[in-house]
Homo-oligomer: A and B are copies of this chain.
Amino acid sequence: MLRAVCDQFWDAGYTATSLQDLMRVSNLGKGSLYAAFGDKHELFLQVLRRYVASLDRTLRRSIDSAPRAVEALHSFVMMPAGDPDGVAARRGCLLANSTTELAATDPAVAAEARQAYEGMTAVLADGVRSAQAQGDLSASADPVGTARALLAAQQGLTFMGRTGMDVETLAATARSLATELLPTSADHRDSMSPPHDPGVPDRTRC
């Protein structure tokens, strides 16, 4: 049921989602919603936290389980161009959408966003260190700096997807950014069969 609410907020945004919408998608009465969550804002925060937690878990697992960390980093950047049709791309990311909509005025959302992105930076930095240890990435690069660059690039791609850019162009741009920011990865991937491709994590659900 939280999933349905999440979808609603994701598709329409926070302010554009009315209580009627929430009642419709949750099959719950107004009173029940308020008894269970207390507030529209509180309900939203709960959904957002759930989303962020899932996001973080997915990324961490992808980084940890990849036989070569650089592959996980690569598919992280490719994520926004993941779905064949452009539907998920045009949806963007609930956290990113909420940040642009609310972060400037809503301290709770701002805090959630900052914390989430710092967490993702840390996970990505771990991935960079792993990739360096595995010889797939130049050892001279600063792991945290590289992680921030990867994150910024991925968020930029997410945004470009939301502008309606067609998926092929988006994927090409993503590939370009990934190979540019993970310089030596291409050479390695050339000489490798695709073992245990972590693929693009499914972000169409929350």
Residues of A within 8 A of B (CB): 11-13, 15-16, 90-92, 96-97, 99-101, 103-105, 110, 113-114, 117, 145-146, 148-149, 151-157, 159-160, 162-165, 169, 172-173, 176-177, 180-181
State in angstroms the CA–CA spacing of A12 and B165 once bound together: 26
The dominant DSSP class at the A interface is helix
Q: Which of B100, B104, B149 contacts A159 (CB 8 A)?
A: B100
Closest to A146 in B: B176
State in angstroms the CA–CA spacing of A74 and B102 once bound together: 30
Q: Say yes or no: B156 contacts A96, CB within 8 Å.
A: no
Q: Say yes or no: B148 contacts A169, CB within 8 Å.
A: yes
Q: Most B CB atoms within 10 A — which of A91, A97, A181?
A: A181
Point out the residues of chain B lying under 8 angstroms from A104, CB to CB.
Answer: 11, 90-91, 162
Q: How far is the CB of A57 from chain B (nearest CB, A)?
A: 20
Tell whether A100 pairs with B100 under 8 Å between CB atoms, given A176-B145, A176-B146, A180-B180: yes
